[in-house]
Amino acid sequence: MATEPIIPSRIIPAGAPLPPRAPEPGEAPPWRTTPAAPPAPPAQPPADWHRLPPPDPQPIAVRVTVDMVYPEPAPEPSRWDRLWTWLTGLARPWQIGAALAAAVLPIPFTGYSAGTTWAYTISVARDEIGVPQAYGLALVPLLIVGRVFLRTRRTLPLVALAICTVGVTGAIDLFDPVTALTGVRP
C-alpha cells in the first residue's frame, strides 16, 4: 500500500480542466495532445535548374577570431625526480638493486663481499705501491666498466661497475685533498 498521497497534478497537468469521465481502457486521455502532422517534403527543384543563370558574384567576407589560450607550463621537476629519471634512464630499477646487492652481499664461506675485497686490494696497493698508482688501479677499471655498461646496458657490467665503485673507497683517504692542495704529508 502506498503511503504517499495522490496528487492530481502528477496525473493531469496543472491548469488543465478535469475530464467529465475517466478514459476507457486503451483510450487516450483527453488532455494528451495529438501529435503534430509531419513536415511537408522538400520542394523538388525545377526540371531545367541547370539552365538557370548563375547568381551574381558577390565578395565573400570571412572573419575568424581566435582566442589564444596557452596551457599552463608543467611544473619544474624536483631534484629527486631528475635524479630518479636519470638513474632509471641508465638501467632498470631491478638491475640497479641486483647490482648493488651483488656488490655488497657477502660471498659464501668468506664473509666478505666482492666490493670490500676489491677495496681491500686497492688499499693494500695504496700502502705498498703508492697513492697515485692506487688511484690509477681503482679508477681505470671503473672507467672501463662504466664505458662497457653505457654501451651495452646489461646487468653484468652494472654489477662490475658497482663493485668498482665500492672498491674506489679503498684508494680514497681524507688527507689526499690536503696533500694535493698544500703538499704537506701527514
Question: pLDDT band at 47, cuts 50/70/90?
Answer: confident
Q: Tell me what pLDDT residue 151 has.
A: 93
How confident is the model over 97-103, as a mean pLDDT? 93
Residue written as grid cell 638501467: 91
Radius of gyration of the CA atoms of the chain, in A: 44
Which one, of 129, 95, 113, lies nearest residue 166 by Cα? Answer: 113
Three-state DSSP class for 113? strand
Q: Tell me what pLDDT residue 76 has.
A: 93
Q: Is the pLDDT reported for residue 8 higher than 60?
A: no
Q: What is the pTM of this model?
A: 0.56
Q: Is the pLDDT reported for residue 38 higher than 80?
A: yes
Question: pLDDT band at 143, cuts 50/70/90?
Answer: very high
Per residue in 52-82, pLDDT (tens digit) is: 777 788 888 899 999 888 888 889 999 999 9
- Domain locations along the chain: 101-182
Residue 99 host element (H or E): helix 93-104
Look at the alpha carbons of 104, 106, 111, 117 in this order and tell me if their dihedral is positive or negative: negative
Grid coordinates of 75: 611544473
